[in-house]
């Protein structure tokens, strides 16, 4: 029987044959047996599907688990584990309310845990368990992680599937940063930010993208960290 196409299948197909092929190839490799058996991986995928509440994913991974030999009891226990983790994560996120109460008891006010600015209730934002002011909340939300293996892998597949090499596909600013480092062979973040007239935060996002493209990386020499070509 032909497997029913999922919403993810239809979406990747709409993006083009190359993207669709790259996505399916990655999924196929990840679901292969290795340190974990095929059944183990299917049950973990099922639990993750329950945790993120993706109904179509649950159905796909339930069938995958059954095909791999999982019993009904194993499938239900995997789903139950996801449910209890999700419940616990909700309580974990809610615990920030207790932290706020403790802060109020001590100081009578709330401060941003990032910049230290005093904030009122209507200026308060919560992110990853931290109490933040609006400016810091926006900054955190727009920050790209430099060390992100999944982001690096995804970017590599995207560039390869689109035939992008070198600085192809980069913005003008990213190309300027790349050329600046190439010309000098190495440069500190401070030197690059000053030369490009950008803030350290903006530079960090641009560096993250260049690193995901495997074009630029960090290198420590003595007590300094330089950005160098990959």
Q: Return the CATH number at 225.
A: 1.10.10.10
Task: Mark 173-212 as b/e (b = at least 16 C-beta within 10 Å).
Answer: ebbbbbeebeeeeebebeebbeeeebeeeebbbbbbbbbb
Q: Which phi and psi angles does 164 have, rounded to 5°?
A: -90, 130
100 plus 160 within the same structural domain: no
Instruction: Give the span between the Cα atoms of 12 and 152, in whole angstroms.
Output: 19
DSSP letter, residue 36 = S
3-state secondary structure of 1: coil
Q: Can you give the pLDDT at residue 81?
A: 93
Instruction: Give the span between the Cα atoms of 221 and 16, in whole angstroms.
Output: 44
Q: What tens digit of pLDDT does each residue of 110-163 get?
A: 777 777 777 776 666 776 667 777 777 766 665 666 666 777 778 788 888 888
CATH of the domain at 105: 3.30.60.20
183 plus 197 within the same structural domain: yes
Q: What tens digit of pLDDT does each residue of 62-111 get?
A: 999 999 999 999 999 999 999 998 888 888 777 766 765 555 544 556 77
Q: Can you give the pLDDT at residue 134?
A: 72
Task: Establish if 2 belongs to a structural domain.
Answer: no
- Rama region for 222: left / alpha / beta (φ>0; ψ in -120 to 50; rest): left
**Residue 48 contacts residue 86 (beta carbons within 8 Å):** no
Q: How many domains does the chain have?
A: 3
209 plus 178 within the same structural domain: yes
Task: Mark 78-108 as b/e (b = at least 16 C-beta within 10 Å).
Answer: bbebbeeeeeeeeeeeeebeeeeeeeeeeee
What's the predicted TM-score (pTM) here? Answer: 0.45
Q: Which region among 12-16, 30-34, 128-132, 210-214 has the lowest average model confidence (pLDDT)?
A: 128-132
Task: Establish if 1 belongs to a structural domain.
Answer: no
Residue 50 pLDDT class (50, 70, 90 cuts): very high
CATH of the domain at 76: 1.20.1290.10
Name the residue range of residue 186's domain: 149-229
Task: Establish if 66 belongs to a structural domain.
Answer: yes
């Amino acid at each position: 029987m032909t497997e029913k196409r999922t919403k993810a299948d239809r979406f990747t197909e709409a993006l083009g044959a190359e993207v669709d092929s790259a996505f399916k190839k990655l999924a196929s490799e990840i679901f292969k047996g290795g340190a974990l058996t095929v059944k183990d991986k299917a049950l973990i995928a099922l639990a993750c599907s329950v945790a993120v509440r993706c109904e179509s994913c649950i159905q796909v991974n339930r069938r995958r688990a059954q095909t791999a030999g999982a019993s009904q009891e194993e499938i239900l226990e995997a789903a139950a584990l996801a449910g209890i983790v999700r419940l616990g994560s909700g309580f974990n996120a809610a615990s920030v309310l207790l932290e706020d109460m403790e802060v109020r008891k001590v100081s009578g006010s709330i401060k941003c845990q990032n910049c230290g600015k005093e904030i009122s209730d209507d200026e308060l934002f919560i992110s990853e368990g931290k109490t933040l002011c609006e400016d810091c909340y926006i900054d955190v939300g727009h920050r790209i992680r430099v060390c992100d293996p999944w982001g690096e892998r995804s970017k590599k597949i995207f560039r390869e599937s689109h035939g992008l090499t070198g600085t192809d596909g980069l913005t003008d600013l990213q190309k300027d940063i790349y050329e600046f480092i190439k010309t000098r062979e190495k440069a500190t973040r401070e030197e690059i930010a000053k030369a490009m007239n950008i803030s350290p935060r903006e530079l960090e996002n641009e560096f993250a993208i260049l690193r995901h493209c495997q074009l630029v990386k960090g290198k420590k020499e003595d007590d300094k960290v330089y950005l160098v070509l990959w």
